[in-house]
Structure 1
């Protein structure tokens, strides 16, 4: 059985703690451990920070036994999506490098209307 949760939040700093709290609760629903929950929270926070040129962002959570899939968007610019395609930069902590460390998979999805979304997946005890 899967569940779907959708959250649209402003990207200003005041709502960061609210989003973090919600991600923590969602993580508990699929039995993510503390470190896995923290990884997911950090990944979402980094994506929020990188999308700072937008006023708000929608997070779609799909919960299934053993995994959380998050779809963030729609993105107003390609910059965030392009950052995930770039190779490593010596001595830099890139978005791609952060997500490689924190989540089990990620990618860019393009909707039929051309809007872009970032997809991240975190597995339980992966």
Structure 2
């Protein structure tokens, strides 16, 4: 019997730290989330948040020097936890968060990424985001499965009862 706090399965993927492979990760996350029963909107949120975390690792962790990014997906009964792990340069999360601030229409779009927009985006799309950076960076993204709130024995809209 699997406990609710124990992962049912672990899926690991390692990619070169190159932008060309971020799409592969998005496809894998989409497949995993679909199999787990996530809604379309939640799958899109997962793909976007994971792509942002991987893109950050590609551009900031290795600074063009090459390396690898590991993606570990822990599948729980009620959630998906995804760790994006690099062994590149670490950063001060609180300093990036402090720069994020409100989005100002006068700031050029290309400058928004440098202000921590990716971190803000991940936090907006996920239920929980944890970032640890000692030797490299580990970003943990958690998304809970939202099951239908309607009970299974409730009539569907196409079924009617005679009263």
| 1:37-116 matches, cutoff 5 A | 37-53=43-59, 54=62, 55-79=67-91, 82=93, 86-87=97-98, 88-91=100-103, 92=112, 94-109=117-132, 114-116=135-137
1:60-82 deviation per Cα after TM superposition (whole angstroms, max 9, x unaligned): 10001121001111341113x62
CA RMSD of aligned residues (A): 2.4
Q: Which residue of 2 aligns with 1:27?
A: 33
CA contact (8 A) 1:84 1:96 kept: no
**Paired residues, what number?**
123
Question: What is the CA-CA distance between 1:84 and the residue it aligns to?
Answer: 8.1
Encode CA deviations 1:46-96: one digit per residue, 9 max, x unaligned: 1111112433200010001121001111341113x6268613323246122
How far apart, in 2, do the equivalents of 1:46 and 1:110 lie? Answer: 17
SS where residue 51 of structure 1 aligns?
helix
Of residues 92-101 and 55-64 in structure 1, the stretch that sits farther from structure 2 once superposed is 92-101
Instruction: Give me the TM-score of the superposition, normalised by structure 2.
Output: 0.65
Instruction: Work out the CA distance in 1 between the residues paired with 2:95 and 2:40.
Output: 26
Partner Cα separation in structure 2 for residue 68 and residue 97 of structure 1: 20
Larger RCO (CA under 8 A, 6+ residues apart): 1
Q: Which has the larger radius of gyration?
A: 2
Higher strand fraction (1 or 2): 1
